[in-house]
Amino acid sequence: AGIYILPDDTMIEAGHFETDNTKSFITVSFDQPFNQTPVVIACITTYNGSDTVTGRIRNITVEGFQFLMQEQEANKRSHLTEQISYLAW
């Protein structure tokens, strides 16, 4: 985790957060703003709930992004707390 600057001045931030939210998007803030809107990838990196869940990202800005865990349609819309790891560059 942390903020890194590559030799070509590209900024990268790696981090993680926890959520059990499957009903609405949460806002995740970067530790420091980017100069331009970054590309963000995120992955659920724990296995606390046995139901299949996937991550959804939207509204990426220089200051952060929104994230939601989504259950399969056949499952109820609740999930145990999971750790989400992300990389923005």
With cut-offs at 50, 70 and 90, classify the pLDDT of residue 87.
very high
* Cα separation values, 46 from 10, 52, 59, Å: 29, 12, 24
Looking at residues 3-12, what average pLDDT do you find?
A: 95
Whole-structure pTM value:
0.89
Q: What type of residue is 85?
A: S
What is the C-alpha separation between 37 and 64, in angstroms, rounded? 9
Taking the C-alpha atoms of residue 86 and residue 45, their distance in angstroms, rounded to an integer, is 10
Range of lowest pLDDT (2-6, 48-52, 76-80): 76-80
Q: Which residues of 22-42 are buried (b: 16+ CB within 10 A; e: fewer)?
A: beeeeebebeeebeeebebeb
